[in-house]
Amino acid sequence: MDVPQGMDSKFRFILIAAKRARQLQSGAKPLVQTPYKKPTRVAVAELSAGLVPYETFDIVSPPAENGAGEK
């Protein structure tokens, strides 16, 4: 399985495809016409075509406190 351009990792690809497959199982309409019947294969096809929107967020750690550990 190749990760589409713009996707930063296979792990993210799998997570997004799994979430979309759950949506399809719950009754969402497919965004592509494909010969596949399984929701996971349809979700991968949709994601590979760039039809599933997703957002990524940068996690910012809180700044270290000055004098941490002092009483």
- Three-class DSSP category at 24: helix
Whether 71 shows a pLDDT value over 60: the answer reads no
Q: Which residue has the higher pLDDT, 22 or 61?
A: 22
pLDDT score of 61: 82
User: What letter would DSSP give residue 29?
Assistant: P
The whole-number pLDDT of residue 68 equals 59
| Every domain of the chain and the residues it spans | 21-50
Q: What is residue 21's predicted lDDT score, i.e. its pLDDT?
A: 97
Chain position carrying tokens 């949709």: 46
How confident is the model over 3-58, as pLDDT tens digits?
777 778 899 999 999 999 999 999 999 999 999 999 999 999 999 898 988 888 88
Token pair, residue 64, equals: 């270290």
Asked whether 20 and 43 are in contact (CB, 8 A), the reply is: yes
